[in-house]
Amino acid sequence: MISRRRFLLTAAVTAPALALHAQKKHDEKHDALPPATPAPACEDPLPAPIAALADRTKDIAPITVEERNNRLDRARELMKQYGLNAILITTGASLRYFSSVQWGQSERFFAYVLPQSASPFFICPSLERDRLNADYINIPDRESTSTYFWHENEDPYDLLRRGLTEVSISTGTLGIEEHTQYAFANEIARACPALKLISATPVTAGCRSLKSPAELALLRLANQITFDVYKAVYLSCGPGDTNHRFVELVDRAYARSGVRGEASLNVGVYSAIPHGSASPQVIHEREMVLIDDGCTVDGYTSDISRSFVYGKPTDEQRAVFEIVRNAQDAALEAAGPGVPMQIVDAAARQVIVKAGYGPGYDYFTHRVGHGIGLDMHEWPYLVQGNTQKMVAGMVFSDEPGIYIPQKFGIRLEDDMFITDHGAEMFTWQSPSLMDPFAIPDATKSTDAKPGDATVTPPKP
């Protein structure tokens, strides 16, 4: 997962140049998840709430090859709709989404090309042959997918041009995935002057923004794990602990749960900085504490924020919390299929501005939400000016906040998914500053949300 603050580096590809032979690969490999890094033996014993966390890897149902085949079909439909002859992806979440391959950014050109009317192919440095071969068992349409390998003394962009020509694409329109670095796009344009290069986002976002039941299940699990991890660490810490200790315990709690994750924790005046500070901080009684970020489950991410106080909150803190919670509710209630995305932002912002924390972005300094999936932040966005309409299957963060400089900030963030009739949260919303992870009594409440382990979560 690559987040706003701490970057979990993927293995980088090593090395540039072109081999004129195309080769189909059929090597097999189990679709095993990489094991979470265990906590070093020399660390202090885990606090009881963290030690009680269960390994959740048994609950993970990875995306199947069949589902990825369906994604290729959907992408080709969108290519026809938008007039693209093919799309090209180098690295990142879109590469994993369509091909299952995970590849780090490098100066050596690596690409996955999906034509509208032909089989996909890879362009790969020859020295990475074995690495790519090992991934072929999970690649969709692998029986007909070709790989063109290039050596260090060869031009990979000339090989790309030849590969496109072999599938009858010498003119027309090539969609370039948005995270393709300029150096690659520039060389593609040089080698393929008869092709028009445009953004592939209408295709990539058009596919990725609508989550399948399998994707929703992975997102639900990621959110539930983060909720449980945050709660366990919250119960394990208190006044006198540092932000670094809190975050270290979050890391160990995620390892205990069998996944990789991260957290950012900010205290007091630093909580008024939306994405926090790297400064060392100590938790004090009655000071605001704000935790943010999430984990990944088979690549799918959670993004949850909680604001809380150890001890008795001040009247001002309580009042601001209630405003933010009402704003979060307003956004959730406004969301649903057919609703323009800016309406959801406006619903939350209106609550905050009417309460005196305005105008505009004075105290609520960011949009109310972003899409979430294989990237923690992905399209589309719940922000003023975005008239795109919500569709069932989309997933967003719902995260209003109020930030009072040099005092404190409060943000409440849960992830919601759009249903046929409205929107639902993956996790329990925070009820108060003093009990941020309380779960309603399922036997008495008719407002049960999907975070309680004693309640069966609603199905997507």
Query: What backbone torsions phi and psi does residue 80 show, to the nearest 5 degrees?
Result: -65, -45
Report percent pLDDT > 90 for the chain: 83
pLDDT digits (tens, 9 = 90+) for 66-75: 999 999 999 9
Rounded CA-CA distance 231/308 in Å is 11
Rounded CA-CA distance 184/155 in Å is 12
Confidence at residue 43, expressed as pLDDT on a 0 to 100 scale: 65
Rounded CA-CA distance 34/87 in Å is 29
HSE of 317, CA atoms in CB hemisphere, 13 A: 24
| AA identity, residue 187 | E
pLDDT digits (tens, 9 = 90+) for 433-455: 999 999 876 434 444 445 443 33
Confidence at residue 278, expressed as pLDDT on a 0 to 100 scale: 87
Three-state SS string over the chain comes to CECCCCECCCCCCCCCCEEEEEEECCCCCCCCCCCCCCCCCCCCCCCHHHHCCCCCHHHCCCCCHHHHHHHHHHHHHHHHHHCCCEEEECCCHHHHHHHCCCCCCCCCCCEEEEECCCCCEEEEEHHHHHHHHHCHHHCCCCCCCEEEEECCCCCHHHHHHHHHHHCCCCCEEEEECCCCCHHHHHHHHHHCCCEEEEECHHHHHHHHCCCCHHHHHHHHHHHHHHHHHHHHHHHHCCCCCEHHHHHHHHHHHHHHHCCEECCEEEEHHHHHCCCCCCCCCECCCCCEEEEECCEEECCEECCCEEEEECCCCCHHHHHHHHHHHHHHHHHHHHCCCCCEHHHHHHHHHHHHHHCCCCCCCCCCCCCCEEECCCCCCEEEEECCCCCCECCCCCEEEECCEEEECCCEEEECEEEEEECCCCEEECCCCCCCCCCCCCCCCCCCCCCCCCCCCCCCCCCC
Rounded CA-CA distance 53/68 in Å is 32
Report percent pLDDT > 70 for the chain: 86
Mean pLDDT, the chain, integer = 89
Rounded CA-CA distance 440/118 in Å is 53
pLDDT over 70 at 382, yes or no: yes
pLDDT over 90 at 268, yes or no: yes
pLDDT over 80 at 286, yes or no: yes
pLDDT digits (tens, 9 = 90+) for 183-221: 999 999 999 999 999 999 999 999 999 999 999 999 999
CB atoms within 10 A of CB 42: 5
pLDDT over 80 at 21, yes or no: no
Going by C-beta distance under 8 Å and a sequence separation of 6 or more, which residues neighbour residue 257?
36, 53, 54, 55, 56, 225, 228, 229, 295
